[in-house]
Amino acid sequence: MFWNLVQINDFEKFDFNKIKKQPQPLRTNTSETDFTILFYMTRGLFNPKILVFDKCNYKNCKITTDIQLLSTSEAVIFLHDSFSALPEKPNGQVWIFATLESPYFTINRFNTDKLKRTFNWTMTYRKDSEGFSPYALLRKHHHSPVKNYTSIYMNKTKNIAWIVSRCRTPSKREAYVKELSKYIDVDIYGKCGKPCSFKKDCKTHLSKTHRFYLSFENSLCKDYLSEKILRIYNNSINFIPIVRGAPNAGDHLPQKTYISTSDFKSPQKLAAFLKMIGSDKTRYISYLKEKDKYFDTVYRCLRVGICDICHHLNVRKQYSKTIDLTKWLWGNQCHMPNDIPT
C-alpha cells in the first residue's frame, strides 16, 4: 500500500498515545539508550523517514529498513507476507510478527510449525498485540459538519449498495447477501457484480442514491474491522453502514452510527428493520448525523503500533516471552457464520 501526502500528514499530526493508553514511562524520554527497530521486508512500501517518535511516550527509538543492521537491531518486525525464510536470530533480539489480515489469510503464507516460539511480540489489528495497529482510527470532529440532511434523504431511491472484489470468503458474506437480497434490493458492484460507472469516489456517488452500504468483512474475527467500515466515516459518504465482521464491533465503533447484522436473527429480520429505518426520515437522519460526528485517520497503518513497541523495548518486561504463533492467531479469535439459513 502506498501513502499519499494527506495520509502522511495525518500520521505526523496524530497523537499516538491516544490509541491505546500506555503505562507511564519508568525512565525519562531522554534515556541514553537508543533502540533500533528493523522493518524486515522485501517490498518497497515503507519509508522510515515519515515515522518519528516525537509524539510517543518514549522517543529513543528509530526505524530502519537496512537489512545490514539485522545483527545490531534490538527488534525486528516481520510483515506476514514479506518473507519466505527467516534469518538467524541473534541472542536477545526481539522478533515481532506483524499483519493486518485475519488468520484465514495469514496462516497459508508460511509453515507455522517451523515458527513456533520464534516470535516474541505481535503487531496487528488486535487489541491484545504489543503493537496495536488498527486499519484506521476514528476521531471526533470538533464541530459537526453542516449538511442539508433532508435533501440527502429525499434524493435516495434505492436501498443497499455493496462494492466487493473477493467473491468467496470464510465469512460466507456472499451467501448472506444472497439471502438478504430475497427481501430487499441489493446492488452489487466490483469484481463480484457490475462495474461502478464512477471510477473515482464510487462510494460517494452511490451514497447519493442508496440508503445503506454493506461493510461486510471476509472473516468473522475479534477486533477485525477493515477499511470496509472505517472508510465510511467520511463526510462525503452519506449512507448508513451495515456491519458484519468482528463480534465486538461495538468496542471500536461509536453507537448509533452503524447497524450490525449480529443484532438480527436472520437476513430477513435485518431487511425488515432496514425498510423501517429507510422509510422513517427522522430515524434515518439521526444515524447519518451521528456518523458524521466522526472521521477516520491513519488508514491501514501498521505504523501506529510503533509507539507501543518502543514502550515495550524501554520497560524490558517482556523480552523473554515467546509465543506459539498458531495458537495466538487462532485461539478463541474467529468463528464460522451461524446467521445464514440452511
Q: What is the pLDDT of residues 278-290, one digit of tens each?
A: 999 999 999 999 9
Residue 124 has pLDDT above 70, yes or no: yes
What does the pLDDT read at residue 144? 85
DSSP state of 68: G
Q: Could you give phi then psi for residue 204, rounded to 5 degrees?
A: -60, -45
What does the pLDDT read at residue 298? 60
Distance CA(41)–CA(76), nearest Å, equals 10
Please report where in the chains the cell 456491519 appears, as a residue.
243
- Cβ–Cβ < 8 Å for 88, 57: no
What does the pLDDT read at residue 47? 62
Stretch 256-284: mean pLDDT:
97
- Burial state string for 154-177 with b = 16 or more CB within 10 A and e = fewer than 16: eebebbbbbbbeeeebbbbbbbbb
CB within 8 A of 175, min separation 6: which ones? Answer: 337, 340
Please report where in the chains the cell 518502543 appears, as a residue.
310
Least confident of 84-98, 199-213, 218-232: 84-98
The residue with greater pLDDT, 37 or 14, is 37
pLDDT digits (tens, 9 = 90+) for 313-328: 998 765 668 888 888 9
- Cβ–Cβ < 8 Å for 119, 323: yes
Local confidence band at 180 (pLDDT 50, 70, 90 cut-offs): very high
DSSP state of 13: H
- Cβ–Cβ < 8 Å for 95, 120: yes
Stretch 4-18: mean pLDDT:
42
Stretch 225-243: mean pLDDT:
94
Compute the 3-state secondary structure of the chain and give helix, strand, coil in percent, each to the nearest 5: 30, 15, 50
The residue with greater pLDDT, 46 or 330, is 330
DSSP state of 176: H
Distance CA(270)–CA(260), nearest Å, equals 9
Distance CA(247)–CA(244), nearest Å, equals 8
Residues 235, 237, 239, 242: is their CA dihedral positive or negative?
A: negative
Strands in 14-73 per DSSP E: 35-40, 61-64
Taken in order of first residue, the domains within the chain and their CATH numbers are 5-136+299-330 (3.40.50), 138-296 (3.40.50.11660)
What does the pLDDT read at residue 26? 38
